[in-house]
Every structure is written in structure tokens, then in C-alpha cells.
A and B are shown apart, each in its own frame.
Chain A
Amino acid sequence: MSKRDYSLLGPDGARAVETGLAAAEWYHTDVPRKVMKELMQRSDQPAIRDTMILYGCMIAFAAGGIAFWGTWWCVPFWAAYGVLYGSASDSRWHECGHGTAFRTAWMNNAVYEIASFMIMRNSATWRWSHARHHTDTYIVGRDPEIAIMRPPAFVRLIGAFFGIPDVIDFFPRMIRNALSGPTAEERTFVPQSEWAKVQRVAIVYTAIYAATAATAVATGSILPLMVIGLPRMYGAWHHIMTGLLQHGGLADNVIDHRLNSRTVYMNPISRFIYWNMNYHVEHHMFPMVPYHALPRLHEVIKHDLPAPNRSIASAFAEMWPALRRQLAYEDYFLKRDLPPTAKPYREDFHRAALGDLPDALPAE
């Protein structure tokens, strides 16, 4: 299956549909209904607390950056502001898009819209994109959110730490969406009833960025862009660092999240920025469980999962060599051992759909 075609309109996607790999039934760890109900319960309190901390810190750091503008003292303020703007917005976009962060719907929607703007994702388009990511996680030609395609494009990956490929993709797309609605690829996963909304959102984004740029020109300073827009680049590194670990180096075209997703233990600051998405196998297996309950879910099902990586550094040490091997042999992937308490990987779930893969999967 080398020479993957990641286009949503290409042959790999069509093949996934034909073979039943798309929209398949995925493996789930057994969890008693009462336990799962308790884990799924929604609450406003944790997300209100975290949102107040987030926005409060952003205001304080931006104020510091502006106050010290023109001196080196502004650098740490912008560095901190940038990570909250350009990385924490990714996790807020994600959790509020699922509708699980808050119990109250309008709170989810409000934070989702703000975060979508900051992370430079059309809020109407990406709600559907992410639904597809959960239906067909890392199914080639179906999942529009595959962060590391094979063979890995290392220059692009490194550029992503500075937001470069995302920003280069975003602005022309925003203009196209504003002029004519979703693109042909976007129309494969955004229902027609939402196309006008995609266009409206793009028009609003265009107006805000145009006003910000005009203010920068009028004042002869990039300071307005330091507040709006540029932090998506200078603060992107954290969400790329954590996001690449979600699925990097693991299997594609499988229907068991234990094979294609990674759980990593992280420090409390990264977990706040990332809103506990380091428990990524758990999130994909049970996307209704709110971020604040994921550590408890992890305790419930960890007997059935590969051992989590102990730190961000150890996860990169595992992933990076695998990505390098994929340069030479793109079918290579990491296959982590399961503990003795786990149910075995159900290769038969997806083997038929994998078709021409050799019997001995190139994994370790």
C-alpha cells in the first residue's frame, strides 16, 4: 500500500469506502455503563475556571507585551501570550467543537468561535472536518486531519512549529471561502446546508484581519499583528509538539485506536494548554468524555491499552526514529505491545480492508 494518496477525492478514499474501512465499527474497551455514564457527565465549572485563567492570562501577557514594547522585556510576555493564543486555542477549538468542555451549549459555542478564529480554522468547515477525523481516524483518503503523511515531509513538519504551512494554507482558503464558499474537497464532508455558513464565517474572518492589517499600516507598527494573527505563528510550537504525538509514527488504515493513537503523560502546564488531550487513545475511543474526566477514564481502561509514554521527550524519542524510517519505507509503523491484561489487537477487523499488505506487518 505504498504511495498513499491523501486526497479526499482520490483512489485511496474510494477504496476505503469499497472495502468497508470507512465508517467502520471500531474497537472499544469494555466499560460498565454506570461507570461510563458517570465519566460522560458534563459540568460547566472546570471549563469556566480554565477559561477565566486562560483569557485572564492572555490579557495580562498582552498588556505586558504592549507596555514593554520596544524593549527586550516584552519578549517573555509575547512568548507566553503566543502559546496561549496559538496553541491553547487548538485544544479549546477541539473540546468545544465536541461540545464536551462545558455543560451549557452557548458557552461551548462561544469559546469554539473565538478559538477557531485564533487557530485560523473556519469554524463552520472544521466542525465537519473533525467529525470525519473521528469517523475515519487516519484512514488514508478519508481523514482530512492527518498531521503526518507518509513519507513524512520533515521540512513542512518543522515549519509547522512556526505555523508556516497552516498560515500559508489558511489565507488563500479564507479568501476563496469568502468569495465562493467551501472548496470541492471541503464539500465532500461539509453538508450543503452549511455551505453558506462557511462563506459567512470566512467573510467575518477576512474583515477582522483586514482591519488589523489596516491598523498596523495606519500606526506604522506591527503591534496590532502581535496581538491578532502573528501569535498563530510564534506561539504554534506547543500545539504542534503535542499534536504530532497524537498519531505520529503509528498505524494508519486500522480500526483500533490502540494502534493509531498515543497517550503521553505530560506536565501540568502542558496539560492545561492541551486540555488533557495527551490522553488521546482514551479521547478517540470515548469522545463523549469531557477533558476533565480523561485522567479518570485512563485509570479505568489503561489495563487494555499500550503503556503510555512517560513524557513528551520519551514520546518524541519513540516517534521521531519511526518517522525517519518511514522516509525510506512508508509502510513502516510502530506497533506497541499490549499489557497481559489487554484484549489482543483485532487484526481481522481491518486486515481484509488492508488488502495487499504482506502478512508480516512491518512493525515493531
Chain B
Amino acid sequence: MPQWIRACATDDIDEEDLIRFDHGGATYAIYHSPEGDFFATAGLCTHENIHLCDGLVMGHLIECPKHNGQFDYRTGEAKRAPVCVNLRTYPVRVDGTDVYIEVP
């Protein structure tokens, strides 16, 4: 059953950056967009299970630190080879200074 989990505080992530969040044996990536919005995706690249938290956020793209594959972290869409499989995304809400994600 899906549940909302507090992932971090809003000021834990710089704008145009991300952090790793682990919960329940799964790993997630939480993003802070240039517009100030927050997003969440699976934490591992769909290409070769590399943690995206060490990657580079450019606008609305997250680039994997190992092979430079890119996803749109708002939709999870794979945007640049070698990634071919989309990234799973998760709903996010901000409550005051806390960021919550809805996990399965």
C-alpha cells in the first residue's frame, strides 16, 4: 500500500541538484529543480544500476555519473544513450519545509 514518507528538508538540496534517499531497502533520488520544485525518481540508473545521486542536474535533466546517460527527472523519460529504459518517478509533496515522497 503506498505511503507518504518524509525524505528530506527543502534546504537539504540546492536548486538544480539532487540527493540520495534510501527507504525500505530501496534507493531514491530527490531533485530540486531550477524553478524551486521537487521531484523524485528511482535512485539507480536503468542502464547499469549506478547511483544517480553522484550525477549532474542540468535544468530538468539528470545525467548518470558513469556513462552520461540522461533522463528528464520530471517524467523519467530516457533522453540520451546509453539509457533506453525510462526511470520510475514517484509523487512528491512539500509540507512546510519537509519534502515527502509517495513510495509503494
CB distance from B60 to the nearest CB of A (A): 13
Binary contact readout B41-60 vs A (1 if CB under 8 angstroms, 0 otherwise): 00000011100001110100
Binary contact readout A107-136 vs B (1 if CB under 8 angstroms, 0 otherwise): 000000000000000000001100100110
Within 8 A of A (CB), among B48-104: 48-49, 54-56, 58, 63, 65-68, 70, 80-82, 84
CB-based contact B80/A135 at 8 Å = no
CB distance from A34 to the nearest CB of B (A): 8
With CB as the reference atom, state the residue of chain A lying closest to B54. A36
Total number of residue pairs linking A and B with CB closer than 8 Å: 43
Interface centre among B49, B55, B65 (most CB of A within 10 A): B65
Within 8 A of A (CB), among B12-51: 17, 47-49
CB distance from A21 to the nearest CB of B (A): 14
Q: Which residue of the partner chain, among B56, B58, B63, B82, contacts A131 with CB atoms under 8 Å? A: B82
CB-based contact A193/B49 at 8 Å = no
Q: Which residue of the partner chain, among A100, A127, A286, contacts B81 with CB atoms under 8 Å? A: A127
CB distance from B56 to the nearest CB of A (A): 5
Tell me what chain B mostly uses at the interface: helix, strand, loop, or mixed.
loop
CB-based contact B49/A23 at 8 Å = yes
CB-based contact A287/B67 at 8 Å = yes
With CB as the reference atom, state the residue of chain A lying closest to B16. A37
Q: Is A105 an interface residue (CB 8 A)?
A: yes
CB distance from B32 to the nearest CB of A (A): 13
Q: Across the interface, which residues of B come within 8 angstroms of A134, CB to CB?
A: 66-67
Q: Bound state CA distance, A193 and B82, in angstroms?
A: 11
Q: Which residue of the partner chain, among B48, B54, B80, contacts A105 with CB atoms under 8 Å? A: B80
Q: Is A99 an interface residue (CB 8 A)?
A: yes
Interface centre among B47, B49, B55, B66 (most CB of A within 10 A): B66
With CB as the reference atom, state the residue of chain A lying closest to B51. A25
Count how many chain B residues have C-beta atoms less than 8 Å from C-beta atoms of the other chain: 18
Q: Is A302 an interface residue (CB 8 A)?
A: no
By a beta-carbon cutoff of 8 Å, the part of chain A in contact with chain B is: 23, 36-37, 40-42, 98-100, 103, 105, 127-128, 131, 134-135, 191, 193-194, 286-288
Tell me what chain A mostly uses at the interface: helix, strand, loop, or mixed.
helix
Interface centre among B49, B56, B70, B84 (most CB of A within 10 A): B56
Q: Bound state CA distance, A231 and B12, in angstroms?
A: 53
Q: Across the interface, which residues of A come within 8 angstroms of B67, CB to CB?
A: 131, 134-135, 287
CB-based contact A287/B65 at 8 Å = yes
Q: Across the interface, which residues of B come within 8 angstroms of A131, CB to CB?
A: 47, 67, 81-82
CB-based contact A287/B66 at 8 Å = yes
CB distance from A364 to the nearest CB of B (A): 31
Q: Bound state CA distance, A128 and B47, in angstroms?
A: 11
CB-based contact A40/B84 at 8 Å = no
**13 additional contacts, CB 8 Å, given A131-B67, A288-B55?**
A37-B17, A41-B56, A42-B56, A99-B70, A105-B80, A127-B81, A131-B81, A131-B82, A134-B67, A135-B66, A135-B67, A287-B68, A288-B63
Q: Bound state CA distance, A99 and B17, in angstroms?
A: 19
With CB as the reference atom, state the residue of chain A lying closest to B56. A40
Q: Bound state CA distance, A287 and B69, in angstroms?
A: 11
Q: Which residue of the partner chain, among B48, B63, B80, B82, contacts A23 with CB atoms under 8 Å? A: B48
Q: Across the interface, which residues of A come within 8 angstroms of B47, CB to CB?
A: 131
Q: Across the interface, which residues of B come within 8 angstroms of A287, CB to CB?
A: 65-68
Interface centre among A98, A127, A131, A287 (most CB of B within 10 A): A131
In the A-B complex, the 9 residue pairs with the closest CB atoms:
A131-B82, A40-B56, A131-B67, A99-B68, A98-B68, A288-B65, A191-B84, A127-B81, A288-B56
With CB as the reference atom, state the residue of chain A lying closest to B17. A37
CB distance from B77 to the nearest CB of A (A): 14
CB-based contact B48/A193 at 8 Å = no
CB-based contact B56/A37 at 8 Å = yes
With CB as the reference atom, state the residue of chain B lying closest to A99. B68
